[in-house]
């Protein structure tokens, strides 16, 4: 069993001088009673932190880590504390019922045949084996759960494949793909995460793919930063925005320009976790002649208010409201987002406040596919 | 100049002290300064802590003493480009860049500056004031010899026409001179960090987020605003907050060290503000106050008790500009909740980092730098000795220290260089 003292050591929490910089940057603290350095200080004093329900509220959005000048890895600290709490049978509240248990079911692959590829329509060119693979992630499942919000997550997958087809790529898509394990990992369930990871890596190896393309920032982060801690693999990992940005530089892509004011919402995983800020902007500003930034952007971006489906509450709603206010203040007609969860969370907030917002939220891939005349 | 001389690189307060001590002992010194004037960073300061003495009033006589000393040759606008030899007999190549004005003829009247139509931001004033294309960096500059900024010059010819001494030399070429010396002292000081990369503070994005050195120029009576602390839009300031450790004690860019002077210079700047404007509210947001020097704690106590400077423990995580241009600071003083404070000016106590070009110079000198690019000591018991015999270091470029410590360090380096020149027991120490 992992001890709190090991977590303090592993995440350099002992460097904390309680300066409060993390708390004053944290999106949760801004709207509610939450303090990263307060929790760290308690752990440093040897007081128990795992029973504190607030450990499940952390967005692990990296805002605190980004501003911390002492190198304390608070999101990883929280992840560790959650593992300890799980062992003590504590857990966060999944805002969407049984989603977590669904993810766990995937680990018993031999017993359950998925119909994951129902979204692959006739007009899409995909392969079973090949050099380039598209890791679709949870998009087909989100479509079932969140369809009533008016989000069409399979549209993201379809757009991605259409874009790739246009670039002459018929990507491999896997029916036996499983959840990347991101949410379980961040909620402390490392064992199930490892099972999922090993299934995915084996299945990808079986297709012979040399390059894996992601549309989902969470999947991309998990493969890029977390899988290598447990498993070896040598396929290359690329986010669709990075691929497109490269193609634009090479002049291999034609995009119809639009005059609408467009802004971009950095998701915490693609932005602060992976540092991919420029590629999506490079692509979007190629389409939108009037690209604007919101007040907080790039490493200082406000997030969508929930991560890992855990503890979505009033504070989450306040964060969304503030982010959408920034979007309105910037005068943007379209807000492009790279993460399906950001899309879901903002749409949910807007659905509850009909007519209050004049902004359209468009997934990055759909935005590009439109500009390429593909949808 | 013969072998019994010493080369001092850097004409700031540490280098000048070293040069002066050597010269007073009868040893010839060549003082090489990169900019137009000796004086260094101290010349940019309004006052010094913890006594609130006028910086230039203490410094200017020292600058003149150095420049006029019969044993000191001051080469400004010059850089060391190569050295040969070893301890006891170094041959040094020095690049003397062109002033485009004949140094022997110019009498410092300033007529060229008055007629020159160019307007260029003055680096000495942290780009807060426009100077002419023919200029001295500041009023007390030593030597009082003008220079032309030929990068921007249109060669309109006005200065040439007006100059009564016929000193303008548009086509002056740089020259390389050589000096033989027994020992070298490096005292190249520091640069303030440009904080625009620390985006949470909004420097470069918001007009009234400025650096401590910029504030120093604002509050200085000889500065660009004549000592008035005003916002970029010209309004008087009512509430100012200093933020400490900006880019210092920061592992993000491998700068975990404490800059050693910022707690005190923020305190000084807050006191000076209160002396200029007793009604202005001043706040210092610190990580922890490091008042380790003589008279430092008393200085902070005085700031709190006599001047009403408010010290708040907390490093802000974000600054935002409101519609009325006020700056909203988010900070967490008690570590369990966030507080907001609106001010109309934020002063960042930025990290002080090794000077630009330090790596190139270390390469030329064949000395090692530490992981933060400060000059490395051979061992801690020889606090001025670099990793190469015969080359000594003084001041901030070895490690963070304040003005009195830089002066002491300059004297210490001079005494070690003296051993070599006078044929002392240097070798036995090794």
Residue in chain A lying closest to B340 (CA): A24
Contacts of A68 in chain B (CB under 8 A): 252
CATH (residue range A99-244) = 3.40.50
Contacts of A67 in chain B (CB under 8 A): 200, 317-318
CATH (residue range A251-371) = 3.40.50
Q: What is the pLDDT of residue A108?
A: 66
Asked if A162 and A207 count as a contact pair (C-beta separation under 8 A), the reply is: no
The answer to whether residue A100 scores a pLDDT higher than 60 is yes
* A53 Cβ contact partners less than 8 Å away, ≥ 6 residues apart: none
The answer to whether residue A106 scores a pLDDT higher than 80 is no
Minimal CA separation from B309 to chain A, in Å: 20
pTM over 0.80: yes
Closest alpha carbon to B106 in B62, B169, B64: B169
Contacts of B245 in chain A (CB under 8 A): 69
Residue in chain A lying closest to B286 (CA): A19
Minimal CA separation from B356 to chain A, in Å: 23
What's the whole-number mean pLDDT along residues B335-354? 94
Label residue B425 by pLDDT band (50, 70, 90): low
The answer to whether residue A184 scores a pLDDT higher than 60 is yes
Average model confidence (pLDDT) for chain A?
92
- Mind listing the pLDDT tens digit for each residue in A143-175? 888 888 889 999 999 999 999 999 999 999 999
**Which residue in this structure is represented by tokens 């200093």?**
B242
Ranges B69-73, B150-154, B209-213, B346-350: which has the least confidence:
B150-154
Asked if B349 and A54 count as a contact pair (C-beta separation under 8 A), the reply is: no
Residue pairs between chains A and B whose CB atoms are closer than 8 Å: 83
Residue in chain B lying closest to A71 (CA): B251
Looking at domain B6-97+174-189+355-429, its CATH superfamily turns out to be FAD/NAD(P)-binding domain (3.50.50.60)
- How far apart (Å, rounded) are the C-alpha atoms in residues B88 and B111? 45
Measured from the Cβ of residue B279, the count of other Cβ atoms closer than 10 Å reads 7
Tokens representing residue A226 in the block: 């977390």
B332 and A24: CB-CB below 8 Å? yes
- How far apart (Å, rounded) are the C-alpha atoms in residues A288 and A77? 40
B317 and A22: CB-CB below 8 Å? yes
- How far apart (Å, rounded) are the C-alpha atoms in residues B330 and B314? 10
What's the whole-number mean pLDDT along residues B64-90? 97
Average model confidence (pLDDT) for chain B?
95
Residues in chain B: 430
Q: What is the CA radius of gyration of chain B?
A: 23
**A311 or A182, greater pLDDT:** A182
- What is the helix (H) or strand (E) element at residue B244, kind and residue range? strand B239-246
Q: Which of 266-295 (B) contact A at CB < 8 A?
A: 287-288
A69 and B252: CB-CB below 8 Å? yes
- How far apart (Å, rounded) are the C-alpha atoms in residues B349 and B266? 7
Residue A90 three-state SS: coil
Minimal CA separation from A19 to chain B, in Å: 5
Sign of the Cα torsion B35, B186, B365, B126 reads: negative
- How far apart (Å, rounded) are the C-alpha atoms in residues B100 and B145? 11
What's the whole-number mean pLDDT along residues A264-268? 97
Q: What is the pLDDT of residue B430?
A: 46
Contacts of B196 in chain A (CB under 8 A): none
Proportion of chain B above pLDDT 70, given as a percent: 97
- Mind listing the pLDDT tens digit for each residue in B103-157? 999 999 999 999 999 999 999 999 999 999 999 999 999 999 999 999 989 999 9
Domain assignments of chain A as residue spans, ordered by start: 4-87, 99-244, 251-371
Contacts of B316 in chain A (CB under 8 A): 21, 24
Angle between helices A278-287 and A364-371 (to 10 degrees): 30
Residue in chain A lying closest to B200 (CA): A300
B332 and A70: CB-CB below 8 Å? no
Tokens representing residue A203 in the block: 């299945």
B194-352 CATH, one of 2.60.40.10, 3.20.20.80, 3.50.50.60, 3.40.190.10: 3.50.50.60
Residue in chain A lying closest to B245 (CA): A69
* A344 Cβ contact partners less than 8 Å away, ≥ 6 residues apart: A142, A146, A149, A151, A153
Label residue A94 by pLDDT band (50, 70, 90): confident
The answer to whether residue B64 scores a pLDDT higher than 60 is yes
B332 and A35: CB-CB below 8 Å? yes
Q: What is the pLDDT of residue A111?
A: 61
- Mind listing the pLDDT tens digit for each residue in A37-46? 999 999 999 9
B287 and A295: CB-CB below 8 Å? no
Asked if A49 and A43 count as a contact pair (C-beta separation under 8 A), the reply is: yes
Q: What is the pLDDT of residue A354?
A: 83
Residue in chain B lying closest to A40 (CA): B335
- Mind listing the pLDDT tens digit for each residue in A327-352? 999 999 999 999 999 999 999 999 88
Label residue B3 by pLDDT band (50, 70, 90): low
ipTM above 0.85, yes or no: yes
B375 touches chain A (CB under 8 A): no
**Beta pairing partners, B82:** B93
A300 and B199: CB-CB below 8 Å? yes
List the Cα angle B26/B30/B32 in 5-degree steps: 150
Residue intervals of chain B classified under CATH 3.50.50.60 are 6-97+174-189+355-429, 194-352
């Amino acid at each position: 069993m992992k001890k709190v003292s090991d977590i303090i050591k592993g995440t350099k929490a002992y460097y904390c001088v309680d300066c409060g910089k993390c708390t004053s940057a944290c999106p949760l603290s801004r709207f509610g009673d939450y303090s990263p350095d307060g929790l760290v200080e308690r752990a440093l004093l040897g007081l128990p932190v795992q029973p504190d329900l607030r450990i499940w509220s952390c967005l692990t959005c990296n805002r605190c880590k980004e501003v911390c000048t002492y190198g304390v890895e608070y999101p990883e600290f929280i992840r560790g504390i959650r593992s300890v709490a799980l062992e003590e049978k504590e857990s966060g509240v999944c805002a969407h019922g049984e989603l977590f248990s669904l993810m766990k079911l995937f680990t018993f692959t031999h017993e359950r045949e998925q119909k994951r590829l129902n979204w692959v329509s006739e007009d899409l060119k995909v392969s079973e084996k090949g050099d380039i693979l598209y890791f679709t992630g949870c998009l087909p499942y989100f479509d079932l759960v969140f369809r009533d919000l008016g989000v069409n997550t399979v549209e993201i997958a379809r757009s991605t494949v259409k874009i790739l087809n246009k670039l002459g790529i018929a990507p491999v898509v896997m029916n036996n793909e499983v959840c990347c394990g991101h949410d379980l990992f961040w909620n402390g369930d490392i064992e199930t995460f490892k099972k999922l990871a090993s299934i995915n890596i084996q299945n990808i190896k079986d297709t012979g793919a040399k390059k894996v393309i992601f549309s989902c920032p969470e999947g991309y982060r998990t493969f890029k930063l977390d899988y290598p801690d447990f498993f070896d693999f040598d396929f290359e990992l690329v986010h669709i925005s990075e691929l497109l940005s490269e193609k634009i530089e090479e002049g291999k892509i034609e995009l119809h320009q639009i005059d609408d004011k467009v802004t971009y919402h950095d998701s915490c995983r693609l932005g602060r976790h992976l540092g991919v800020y420029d590629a999506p902007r490079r692509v979007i500003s190629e389409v939108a002649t009037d690209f604007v930034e919101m007040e907080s952007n790039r490493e200082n971006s406000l997030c969508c208010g929930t991560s890992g489906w855990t503890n979505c509450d009033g504070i989450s709603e306040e964060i969304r409201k503030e982010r959408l206010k920034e979007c309105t203040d910037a005068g943007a007609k379209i807000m492009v987002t790279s993460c399906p969860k950001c899309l879901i969370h903002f749409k949910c907030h807007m659905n509850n406040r009909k007519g209050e917002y004049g902004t359209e939220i468009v997934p990055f891939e759909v935005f590009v596919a439109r500009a390429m005349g593909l949808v | 100049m013969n072998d019994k001389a010493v080369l001092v690189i850097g004409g700031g307060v540490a280098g000048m002290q070293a040069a002066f001590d050597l010269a007073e002992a009868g040893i010839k010194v060549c003082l090489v300064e990169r900019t137009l004037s000796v004086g260094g960073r101290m010349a940019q300061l309004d006052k010094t802590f913890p006594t609130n003495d006028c910086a230039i009033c203490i410094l200017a006589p020292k600058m003149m003493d150095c420049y006029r000393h019969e044993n000191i040759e001051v080469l400004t606008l010059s850089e060391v480009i190569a050295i040969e030899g070893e301890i006891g007999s170094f041959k040094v190549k020095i690049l003397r860049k062109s002033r485009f004005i004949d140094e022997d003829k110019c009498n410092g009247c300033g007529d060229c500056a008055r007629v020159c139509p160019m307007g260029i931001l003055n680096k000495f004033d942290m780009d807060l004031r426009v100077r002419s294309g023919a200029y001295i960096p500041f009023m007390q500059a030593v030597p009082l010899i003008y220079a032309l900024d030929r990068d921007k010059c249109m060669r309109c010819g006005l200065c040439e026409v007006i100059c009564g001494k016929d000193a303008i030399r548009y086509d002056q070429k740089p020259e390389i001179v050589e000096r033989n010396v027994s020992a070298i002292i490096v005292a190249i000081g520091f640069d303030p960090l440009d904080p625009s990369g620390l985006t949470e503070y909004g420097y470069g994005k918001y007009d009234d987020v400025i650096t401590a050195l910029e504030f120093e120029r604002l509050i200085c009576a000889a500065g660009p605003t004549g000592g008035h602390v005003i916002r970029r839009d010209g309004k008087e300031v009512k509430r100012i907050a200093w933020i400490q450790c900006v880019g210092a004690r920061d592992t993000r860019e491998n700068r975990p060290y404490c800059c050693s002077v910022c707690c005190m210079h923020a305190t000084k700047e807050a006191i000076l503000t209160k002396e200029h404007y007793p009604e202005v509210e001043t706040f210092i947001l610190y990580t922890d106050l490091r008042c380790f020097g003589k008279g430092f704690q008393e200085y902070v106590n005085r700031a709190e008790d006599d001047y009403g400077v408010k010290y708040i423990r907390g490093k802000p995580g974000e600054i935002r500009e409101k519609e009325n241009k006020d700056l909203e600071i988010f900070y967490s003083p008690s570590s369990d909740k966030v507080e907001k404070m609106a001010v109309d000016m934020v002063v960042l106590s930025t990290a002080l980092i090794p000077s630009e070009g330090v790596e190139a110079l270390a390469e030329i000198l064949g000395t090692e730098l530490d992981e933060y690019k400060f000059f490395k000591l051979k061992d801690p018991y020889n606090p001025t000795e670099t990793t190469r015999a015969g080359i000594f270091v003084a001041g901030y470029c070895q490690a963070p220290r304040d003005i009195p410590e830089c002066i002491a360090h300059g004297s210490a380096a001079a005494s070690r260089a003296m051993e070599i020149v006078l044929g002392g027991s240097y070798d036995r120490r090794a």
